[in-house]
């Protein structure tokens, strides 16, 4: 996988590891100051949450009962609050303090909030990384969120891949997940199945249903593609990895996790006394390199199209083995 252009930020070893395993930990991607600013701003946004003006929408990552009302579906160009599944009782009242009830805030932080915009669209280090990785020709950013995995109450996120929820043809989703606090085995650190992006096709996609709301649409499957990337021996994958053997990855504040849209990953419930806050956003390739259609739950608007990342697109990409 030779690189024909000088690398600006990533090493060749890091690039190889990402394409081999389907994810990559980039230590200290954000400085201590940048990370502290994002964490402080996230806590300010929690303080600004006014439950009395909120439809008290619960957020779930399971296959059933996905929220589908306008508050969720029209949040792509707004900053909105989504609550943990058990944070609202049967009468519609919060079961705990508002700051501990919020599951996430999204989905246009990268555009509308100056602190998060600075760490995303105005981040030269991020642009250099995107040029080095060459996963996309002309990437656009979408679906930015702060995820609050609260101590004791932050729920588990089951096994999934991101291209299911941000589907393009061909699949091109790439996740950027930045730890704002230390991520440990007990507070819900991410776990990955290394190499699963090369063997696990996208089986379904999350869509807007014709009659309203959201649901899943099954996709046709095909055998894994043949490429020099996918044919590399499995013994090159992460130490300890085997079929079905997830690798838990601890992170320090400011670490970035790059997540291939097809790699399987998950996180467990936060059983510790410590919160696990993270900032995450995604990129997809833009037309004509990939099609993002009107079925997707999150839609760009005339006032806020998806945000372009690079001033000059990548002429060549390395993502030859995506599903």
pTM for this predicted structure: 0.89
Looking at residue 300, its pLDDT comes to 97
Chain position carrying tokens 């300010």: 44
Q: At what angle do helices 124-133 and 12-21 cross, to 10 degrees?
A: 70
Look at 88 and 2; give whichever has higher pLDDT: 88
Per-residue pLDDT for 96 more than 80?
yes
Angle at 163 (CA atoms; ends 157, 169), nearest 5 degrees = 165
Instruction: Say yes or no to pLDDT of 45 above 60.
Output: yes
Which range has the worst mean pLDDT, 4-8, 185-189, 205-209?
4-8
Per the CB < 8 A criterion, the answer to whether 85 and 57 are in contact is no
For the chain, what is the mean pLDDT? 88
What pLDDT sits at residue 323? 35
Query: How many Å apart are CA 174 and CA 136, to the nearest integer?
Result: 9
- Integer CA distances (angstroms), 116 to 6, 91, 258, 269, 279, in order: 29, 35, 18, 26, 9
Which pLDDT band holds residue 230 (cuts at 50, 70, 90)? very low
pLDDT, mean of residues 142-159: 94
| Tokens representing residue 33 in the block | 């100051």
Whole-angstrom Cα distance, residue 129 to residue 146?
A: 21
CB 283 within 8 A of CB 289: no
Residue 228: per-residue pLDDT: 40
Cα–Cα separations (whole angstroms), residue 243 to 27, 193, 195, 222, 238: 27, 8, 9, 20, 12
Quote the CA–CA distance of 282 and 307 in Å, as a whole number: 11
- Give the residue among 229, 208, 70 at the shortest CA–CA distance from 134: 229
Mean pLDDT of 289-302: 96
pLDDT tens digits along 281-291 = 999 999 999 99
pLDDT at 57: 58
């Amino acid at each position: 996988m030779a690189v024909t252009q000088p690398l600006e930020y990533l090493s060749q070893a890091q690039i190889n590891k990402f394409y081999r395993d389907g994810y990559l930990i980039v230590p200290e991607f954000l400085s201590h100051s940048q990370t502290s600013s994002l964490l402080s701003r996230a806590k300010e946004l929690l303080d600004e949450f006014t439950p009395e003006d909120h439809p008290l929408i619960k957020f779930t990552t399971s296959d059933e009962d996905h929220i589908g009302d306008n508050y969720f579906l029209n949040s792509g160009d707004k900053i909105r609050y989504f609550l943990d599944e058990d944070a609202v009782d049967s009468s519609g009242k919060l079961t705990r303090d508002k700051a501990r009830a919020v599951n996430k805030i999204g989905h246009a932080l990268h555009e509308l909030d100056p602190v998060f915009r600075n760490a995303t669209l105005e981040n030269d280090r991020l642009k250099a990384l995107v040029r080095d990785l060459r996963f996309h020709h002309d990437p656009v950013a979408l679906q930015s969120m702060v995820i609050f995995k609260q101590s004791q109450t932050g729920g588990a996120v089951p096994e999934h891949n991101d291209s299911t929820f941000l589907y393009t043809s061909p699949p091109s989703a790439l996740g950027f997940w930045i730890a704002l606090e230390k991520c440990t085995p007990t507070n819900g650190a991410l776990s990955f199945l290394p190499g699963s992006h090369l063997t696990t096709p996208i089986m379904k996609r999350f869509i807007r249903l014709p009659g309203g709301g959201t649901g899943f649409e099954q996709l046709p499957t095909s055998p894994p593609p043949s490429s020099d990337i996918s044919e590399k021996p499995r013994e090159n994958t992460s130490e300890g990895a085997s079929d079905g053997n997830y690798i838990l990855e601890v992170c320090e504040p400011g670490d970035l996790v790059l997540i291939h849209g097809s790699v399987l990953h998950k996180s467990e419930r936060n059983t510790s006394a410590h919160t696990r806050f993270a900032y995450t956003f995604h990129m997809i390739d833009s037309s004509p390199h990939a099609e993002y259609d009107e079925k997707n739950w999150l839609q760009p608007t005339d006032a806020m199209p998806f945000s372009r990342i690079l001033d000059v697109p990548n002429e060549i990409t390395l993502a030859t083995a995506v599903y």
